[in-house]
Amino acid sequence: MVRRSTVCVLAAALLLAGTACEVKKSSNPLSPTVAGPIPGVQITAPKMIDPSNGARVEVDKQPITLTIENAATNGVRPLWYSFDVATDAGFTNKVYSRDNVTPGEGRTSVKLPDPLATGRTYYWRARAQDGANTGAFAATARFDVFTPIVINAPVLVAPAPNEILTTVRPRFTVTNATHTGPVGPINYLIELADSSTFANKVGQTVAEQPGQTSFDTPQDLPFGKVLYWHVKAYDPTTQGPFSETRSFQTPVAPPPGHNPSPGPGVPSGPAPNDAINLGLAIIENSPADVASWPATATITSLDLGNGGAAVGFTKKDGPGSWPDVPFVTPGETLQYTLWIVLKINGQWYASGCIQFWRGLGRNGGPPSQYGQNWYYDPVRWGPMAGYQPSNGEQVGFLVTAGDARNNGNVVVKERSNVVVVPFPTNGGSFSFTTGRLPFGR
């Protein structure tokens, strides 16, 4: 009996020892078998760092990285974090969720795997856990993902650089500014000044028009002035940069009382669409009163090619032409003369140099040789003799009836308007519309 009892006592002792070991093991707070909160352990909410509440994130600055300042705990178990991003403040529509994020040193960050859709508001939150205890979520932060508005500079079209205008009420034209993002209504600010610094300037706003935007000057600009202009586009929230700055020159003022009358019912010069007032030009080797001749023709094209010059013009009174006049040999007739107008040392000079007879397509040689081909004699052409315009220099042209060279055979004193083009040393052609300046092609 004693032997049996001893066995029973030993068995009971072993059972109690096993139970004691289990109790000791389960009291370890780091044990993964602990279920439920550990009494007395508190975990604070992490602090939301980035994106901050109300932040705006540009669509190309993605994927977003969420950053928190680590939570604190009075427990001994290590913390880990969970992050949520949703499209609603209640987090019923989550677009990102991650658990078991290992904490960093002082701060913890997670980078979203993909960019979020633009044009939306998002909400995010984070909290800490230790496996047995869970801290509170930090205050929810919201942020917006947006496509930034970018408005580029418009491109200036007219007036052209350094252009001499035919009117003191020009039309300004720009190619519309390109832009990205959700822009609002686009407007353009046109600034005009008397210097490139724009210290003394006036401005005018015009709403965007399809493709190109134009603005007509509402009042006369001063005569004979070099003016500067630039343009910028903007919408209700975003200002674009200014375009390049260009200059142009308004036409010179007609002399007081300069209104010769060539006859009843015949218009007198200078023509309304003259780019240069011939009344202020010194005429060399041609009729000195050409400025007063009625402008019964309008130049429509000017081709200054290397094979010679060719000019197109229309008569105001119909498709006819000026009467031919006798030329060099019997039976040979001349139709019109092409004039050039040059500014030399600040003074305009003009001369009828190149004669055209019917059927002659081109005459005068290449532009690079005008100085030696058109006005080669100092006796006849004075300061114009041998003068070769530089490339891009503003040069005027017109045509007159008959032979205007050497004060030749002029039966009908009529002329075209005067046009101005940037001189193309290597050849170029221009087309014109009434009252406007040339468009090179």
How far from the centroid of its chain's Cα atoms is residue 386's Cα? Answer: 42
The values of phi and psi at residue 41, to 5°, are: -85, 130
Helix (DSSP H) and strand (DSSP E) numbers for the chain = 3, 30
Residue 8 pLDDT: 41
Checking phi first, is residue 433 left (phi over 0); if not, alpha (psi -120 to 50) or beta?
A: beta
Residue 250 pLDDT: 87
Residue 134 pLDDT: 92
Q: Rounded to an integer, what distance in angstroms lies between the CA atom of residue 416 and that of residue 100?
A: 87
Neighbour-count burial for 35-65, b at 16+ CB within 10 Å, e otherwise: eeeeeebebbbbebbebeeeeebeeeeeebe
Residue 317 pLDDT: 56
Q: Rounded to an integer, what distance in angstroms lies between the CA atom of residue 347 and that of residue 338?
A: 20
Q: Rounded to an integer, what distance in angstroms lies between the CA atom of residue 381 and that of residue 370?
A: 13
Residue 272 pLDDT: 67
Residue 318 pLDDT: 53
Residue 337 burial by CB count (10 A; 0-12/13-18/19+): exposed, middle or buried? buried
3-state secondary structure at position 90: coil
Residue 136 pLDDT: 93
Query: Mean pLDDT by 10-residue block, N- to C-terminus, for the chain (441 residues)?
Result: 42 42 48 67 93 91 94 91 96 95 94 92 95 91 91 94 84 93 91 91 91 87 90 93 93 53 39 79 88 87 91 70 74 83 91 84 90 88 91 92 81 88 90 50 29
Residue labelled with tokens 């190309």: 60
Residue 188 pLDDT: 95
Q: With a threshold of 0.85, does the pTM exceed it?
A: no
Q: Rounded to an integer, what distance in angstroms lies between the CA atom of residue 7 and that of residue 143?
A: 73
Q: Rounded to an integer, what distance in angstroms lies between the CA atom of residue 337 and that of residue 325?
A: 11
Residue 335 pLDDT: 82
For residue 132, how many C-alpha atoms fall within 13 Å in the half-sphere facing its CB? 20
Residue 265 pLDDT: 36
3-state secondary structure at position 266: coil
Residue 329 pLDDT: 64
Residue 89 pLDDT: 94
Residue whose C-alpha is closest to residue 355's, from 314, 311, 386, 316: 311
Domains contained in the chain, CATH given: 47-146 (2.60.40.10), 150-249 (2.60.40.10), 278-440 (no CATH)
Contacts for 299 with CB less than 8 Å, ≥ 6 apart? 311, 312, 313, 397, 398, 399, 416, 417, 419, 432
